[in-house]
Amino acid sequence: MQDLSGLEKNLGVIFVDKNLLLQAVVHRSYLNEHPTFAVGHNERLEFLGDAVIELVVTEYLYEHYPNPEGELTTWRSALVNAITLSDICKQLGVEDYMHLSRGESKDIASKARMYILANAFEAVVGSMYLDRGYDVCKTFIGEKVISRLPYILEHHLYLDPKSRFQEAAQERQGMTPQYKVLDEVGPDHAKIFTVGVFIGSEQIAVGQGTSKQEAQVAAAEKAIEKMGW
């Protein structure tokens, strides 16, 4: 069996049943090419880990903040979304231990890889819950996930990029950004939209996506980065 001691060190948790941790890093695509592999894929563990993470984060927010439900829900979403969890997964070095198909192994920078890593993080938590119990998971999630909350709150990262850019533009320049479709290419079932975001007559940034909304969000993200907001 693969030596997972390095991964356990990164996680700060030693597993009794190493096969549980191994299964957490096995993507379904790997088993298509290795059908006799010793353990199954990680989707059931992901299902369990997702619930454990949400419970721990929800419990923490409830106990530490008197804010209304809507605000707490938004904060929780910022903590447990795919962007955050995939980033944590990378920082913990889980990606180096992933079992992926040859095709998935090469696709290192796509949105699909982000979701694979986020799901793997959830699966690791699921395996940890089965192997070590709730208290160990609670400590782990507190250190790796909830520790990001102050930064998220300080930089308003719980807002979607369009809301963040609009809020900053109105505060700093007294103007509301406008979005314009600059181009659209491809057949109806696979269009790619190019959208520009403008403040007044000035084009700040351009984004692309498979829908107008996705392209607007991409443009807003680039605009925030460009303006240093």
Residues with a known catalytic role: 50, 122
* Cβ(161)–Cβ(179) below 8 Å: no
Kindly state the tokens that stand for 145: 């996930």
For 111-118, which contacts have Cβ atoms below 8 Å and span 24 or more sequence positions?
113/86, 114/82, 114/83, 114/86, 115/82, 115/86, 116/27, 117/85, 117/86, 117/89, 117/90, 118/81, 118/82, 118/83, 118/85, 118/86, 118/89
Kindly state the tokens that stand for 39: 């353990």
* Cβ(9)–Cβ(92) below 8 Å: no
